[in-house]
Amino acid sequence: MNGITPCLWFDTEGEEAAKFYTSIFPNSKILDVARYGEAGPRPAGTVMTVSFELAGVKFVALNGGPEFKFSEAISFQVSCKNQDEVDTYWSALSEGGEEGPCGWVKDKFGLSWQIVPTALPKLLGDPDREKAQRVMAAMLKMKKIEIDELEQAAAAA
For 34-89, write each residue's pLDDT tens digit. 999 999 899 999 999 999 999 999 999 999 999 999 999 999 999 999 999 999 99
What is the average pLDDT across 117-135?
96
Check whether residue 13 and residue 61 sit in a common domain.
yes
Burial class (CB in 10 A: 0-12, 13-18, 19+), 120: buried
- Residue 1: its pLDDT value, please? 57
Check whether residue 147 and residue 128 sit in a common domain.
yes
Check whether residue 108 and residue 57 sit in a common domain.
no
Q: With contact defined as beta carbons under 8 Å apart, do 71 and 98 qualify?
A: no
Check whether residue 80 and residue 130 sit in a common domain.
yes
Check whether residue 51 and residue 119 sit in a common domain.
no
Check whether residue 92 and residue 58 sit in a common domain.
no
CATH of the domain at 155: 3.10.180.10
104-106 β-sheet, strand order: 75-80, 112-117, 104-106, 98-99
Q: With contact defined as beta carbons under 8 Å apart, do 76 and 33 qualify?
A: no
Check whether residue 45 and residue 85 sit in a common domain.
no
How do beta strands 112-117 and 75-80 pair?
Answer: parallel
From the list 149, 155, 75, 148, the residue with the least C-alpha distance to 115 is: 75
Q: What is the DSSP letter of 5?
A: -
* Model pTM score: 0.93
The pLDDT mean for the chain works out to: 96
* Residue 157 scores a pLDDT above 80: no
Check whether residue 97 and residue 129 sit in a common domain.
yes
From the list 98, 103, 88, 89, the residue with the least C-alpha distance to 136 is: 103
Report the distance separating Cα 22 and Cα 58, nearest Å.
11
Q: What percent of the chain has pLDDT over 90?
A: 96
Other beta carbons within 10 angstroms of residue 79's beta carbon come to 14
Q: How many independent structural domains does the chain possess?
A: 2
Q: Which domain holds residue 50?
A: 1-68
Domain boundary among 53, 68, 83: 68
